[in-house]
Structure 1
Amino acid sequence: MTKKTRRKFSAEFKAKVVLEALKERVTIEELARKHELHPTQIATWKREAMANMSSVFVSGKSDAVSDNERQIEQLYARIGQLQVENDFLKKRL
């Protein structure tokens, strides 16, 4: 007997399925058959998307800015560390 591994779905795939479900052009059962999913899974993804919909518009740009600032701070710290090491090695030679 073989053990079936759990499938992992990308965020892009989930978004595509949820958008199709929100358009309501076909039933959830038809979508489930088309994408080889269980209808409950699609309903769960749809519910999560609806609950988190407002966060898309609020924090979309601020997260990217804070990530960039954090990365810049790390790079400046690394530059400072390398300058100290370089100065130390120059004195030793």
Structure 2
Amino acid sequence: MAGLKYEEVYLHAYDSVSQARQGLQSYFKFYNERRPHSSLDGKTPDSVYFNSLPLQKAA
């Protein structure tokens, strides 16, 4: 993922593995939940995925 390297990893000098893990978790949350994607017509991956799941009917 070129975006991950350029938008997160190369911009931060992590002092530990736990800091890197925390930074990557934040980036993935942003990437999937808030960052619009041109290939998805400006939608986020989460919105595309969760809106495509079939609705479950109540019992």
Give the TM-score taking structure 2 as reference length.
Answer: 0.36
- The higher-RCO structure (CA 8 Å, 6+ apart) is 2
* Richer in helix (by share): 1
Q: Under a length normalisation based on structure 1, what TM-score does the superposition of the two structures give? A: 0.25
Specify the structure having the higher radius of gyration (Cα): 1
